Structure 1
Amino acid sequence: MGPKPSQPQTAELFRPRLDEQINMKHALVKLAALIDWAEIERTFAISFTSGRGRPALSARLVAGLLYLQHTFDASDEAVVNTWIENPYWQFFCGETYLQTEAPIDPSSLTRWRQHVGEEGVEALLAASIDAARRGGVIQKASVQQVIVDTTVMPKAIAHPTDSRLLDRSRQHLVRAAEDNGLRLRQNYKRVAPRLAAQIGRYAHAKQFKRMRKAVRTLRTRVGRVHREVQRQLHELPEAARARVQDLLQRTGRILTQRTKDKNKLYALHAPEVECISKGKARTPYEFGVKVSIATTLKEGLVVGMRSMPGNPYDGHTLAETLEQVGILTGTDRPPATAIVDKGYQGMQIEGVRILRSARGGA
């Protein structure tokens, strides 16, 4: 069920309002007045297709928390805890009176991000662009000249090694079997962790022949658990079978993938993670998803951002990024000028002047 407007309680009539206690010239207070919260609420309301269940939280509260989390680089737990302590954060999220309890469980922010999806996040970005325009941060002509580049949005995963991935696969398979009442002849709860630790010691000592032998042994043990769960899959009800089947598919990829393979699985819980090399000296390889970002040339305001799964060639992402810029800025057409680096070599887009850093100019 969608959110319902909150009604003031009788006891609150005798409490001082937040706008009577805080400095109304504070940056967050000014920003709250510039954002079109009604448009954000309309966009979020589209995702609520059912009229049943408990009413959802206020869209302004969730959108405000997501804005604050991104601005101050805070975790889900940190942004909720700071919200309780900071009256300016509460005012920014639409509160009228000072609150002393958490408005939301931190884990709910993850579900909200999944619920609003890409369309909801784009609405938040569009609202920030409109607020910048109303506040005089950017001029109307600024969106016609943009800088476009790609980077890697890192995923918070452990460094993927064969031993770690194999042991984690075994742990998930054993837990799934226990949760669904499947009986395993062996789960290797003692043998597998010892093997994984020994593999790390062999690698540190550069005893690679012994290390590879231990990896093969560990892979064999995990493969036995995998096959035993697969043999009993037909005993599960349909809903549980689908979940276990998805886990079996992922662990099967880890069991069969080798060092030189493409499209490897680097995290059991995040199959979208890719290994990307951007030529950086300190981090030659990054694990995450490629992201295309567009900013205005003059002010550096972000006017476009989109994830690009599959690690595509930078030049192939340019048209999609410029199209998004036109939609979010309200011009409904790509910017007149796009400034890019050498990674976009060879790309031409009709009606757009592309300036490259390569020798020879545009």
Structure 2
Amino acid sequence: MIDYTPQSQLSLNMFKHPFEQGLDKENRWVKLAALIPWDSLAAVYSRKLDAGSGRKSVNIRTVIAALIVKHKLGLDDRGTIEMIQENIYLQYFCGLPCFTTQPVFDASLFVDIRKRLGGDEFEAFNQRIIESSEQIKPHQSRIKRKQQQQKEEATDKDKDKNDGPEKNDNRGTLKVDATVADQEITYPTDLKLLNTSRGNLERIIDLLYLRPADGTKPRTYRRNARKHYLNIAKKKKKTKKQIRRGIRGQLQYISRDLKIVDSLLLKPGRSELLEKRDRELMATIRKVYSQQKLMYENRTHQCENRIVNIFQPHVRPIVRGKDKAKTEFGAKINISEVNGFCRIDRFSWDAYNESTDLKM
């Protein structure tokens, strides 16, 4: 048999909803709301807020709950707000007094929340939740109790047989592992990085150049530079000689563009035409140019604090030696797990030897 509801027989007014009924106590969000130490988490979050000035903040319970929903369900900023807006159990979890069709707050607020919460606050959140969870001891069944008693009796017999000094019992199992949180960037190559830097330099030149005052616009040869880059980038197999020739050409184009930018910046009032983001980007491009030129002249692919993305200069290549990807790009995180609870012991954008954290 086939069951189907025609589109003409289903409308919003005819839809029946259970809002007149009570919420299910066995729902996972209802259970989780009763377990989380909201007061402790709110005290940690409120450290970064000023109680004596500014407008009234969004409810702290709602902000913390939205962060939990976001990471537990793996949603983006807008998706999290929409999910809370549609789900009555999530609205209860966020501390709302009643169901509403309005968003709890604007999705752009997540950006300020991430800036406000640093590594220390995140670790404090984690510690509060672990302390609260350790106080909740699950009910042991009779079988588990009997197995525990048998294990203790067997241990006592072994101790009686041994004449040596008593040894301390193992307190548990510690698991330590390091991983890399991949950053959302394109796979970097020297040629692609230089081409991106050159393109942004040409954009900055267009911003700084004023036609009536500067006369003839300086030549950047952007069409030739783009053509030379594509001639190499489109090849399925590239030889080392071709790549080296392409890097040399892009370095020459960038050197010319940097001289043009410097000459334009010497004119009064030109630096004010650049926003803070473009000024920081200029500093990053200069560093990329010096690094790439140094590696080109020395015929090497290694340098200290190597930049692999001009928009995220803090990202470093992390050599992992895996079959899937020998090198990963992102933050390296060292995590320890005890009794099912995980703690972030170290978070760094630079590569490090995780064995040094074992003693800690």
TM over 0.5: yes
What is the distance in 2 between the residues matched to 1:53 and 1:314?
43
1:228 aligns with 2:260: yes
Q: Aligned partners of 2:171, 2:77: CA distance in 1, in Å?
A: 32
Q: Given the superposition, is the C-alpha separation of residues 237 and 208 from structure 1 closer, same or farther in structure 2, using an over 3 Å criterion?
A: closer
Contact 1:18 1:91 (8 Å CA) reproduced = no
Q: Distance in 2 between matches of 1:48 and 1:175?
A: 39
SS of the aligned residue for 2:329 comes to strand
Partner of 1:168: 196
Cα gap change, 1:37/1:272 in structure 2, threshold over 3 Å: closer, same or farther? same
2:311 is the counterpart of 1:311: no
Instruction: In structure 1, give the amino acid aligned to 2:245.
Output: K
Where does residue 23 of structure 2 map in the other structure?
A: 22
Q: Tell me, yes or no, if the aligned pair for 1:173 and 1:247 is still in contact at 8 Å.
A: no
Distance 2:85 2:52 in 1: 30
Contact residue 84 and residue 99 of structure 1 kept, 8 A: yes
Query: Structure 2, unaligned stretches of length 5 or more?
Result: 1-16, 141-168, 296-300
* Displacement of 1:276: 1.4
Q: Which has the larger radius of gyration?
A: 2
User: Within 5 A, what are the aligned runs for 1:98-177?
Assistant: 98-136=99-137, 145-176=173-204
Residue aligning to 1:219:
251
Residue in structure 2 matched with residue 70 of structure 1 by the alignment: 71
User: Does the CA-based 8 Å contact 2:232-2:238 persist in structure 1?
Assistant: no
**Paired residue secondary structure (1:167):** helix
Indicate how the Cα distance of structure 1 residues 17 and 175 shifts in structure 2: closer, same or farther if over 3 A, else same: farther
Equivalent runs, 1:139-288 vs 2, <5 Å = 145-176=173-204, 185-186=218-219, 190-202=223-235, 204-233=236-265, 235-236=269-270, 243-257=277-291, 258=295, 259-288=301-330
Greater Cα offset, 231-240 or 110-119: 231-240
Specify the alignment match of 1:293 in structure 2.
335
| CA 1:137–1:189: 2 relative to 1, 3 Å | farther
Partners of 1:270 and 1:111 lie apart in 2 by: 19
User: Following the alignment from structure 1 to structure 2, what is the Cα–Cα distance between the partners of residues 292 and 110?
Assistant: 25
Q: Which amino acid aligns with 1:294?
A: S
Task: Indicate conservation of the 8 Å contact 1:176/1:244, yes or no.
Answer: yes
Alignment RMSD: 3.4
1:106 aligned counterpart, secondary structure? coil
Q: Give the Cα–Cα distance (whole angstroms) in 2 for the partners of residues 180 and 51 of structure 1.
A: 43
Per-residue Cα deviation, 1:19-45 (whole angstroms, up to 9, x for no partner): 964212212211111112122222222
Paired residues of 1:226 and 1:251 also in contact (CA < 8 A): no
TM-score normalised to structure 2 length: 0.71
For residues 277-317 of structure 1, give each alpha carbon's deviation from its aligned partner in whole angstroms, at most 9, with x where no partner exists. 22211121111121010111xx4221344313321211223
Sort the Cα spacing of 1:87 and 1:168 in 2 relative to 1 into closer, same or farther, 3 A.
Answer: farther
**Structure 1 SS opposite 2:108:** helix
Q: Distance in 1 between the 2:44 and 2:67 partners?
A: 15
Change (3 A) 1:294 1:188: farther
How many pairs are equivalent? Answer: 301
Q: d(CA) in 2 for partners of 1:305 and 1:284?
A: 24
C-alpha displacement of 1:231: 3.6
Distance 1:143 1:70 in 2: 31
Q: State how far apart, in whole Å, the 2-side matches of 1:68 and 1:143 are.
A: 33
Deviations 1:203-245 (A, max 9, x none): x233442332223222222232233223444545689686544
TM-score of the aligned structures, taking structure 1 as reference length: 0.71
Measure the CA separation in 1 of the matches of 2:221 and 2:41: 51
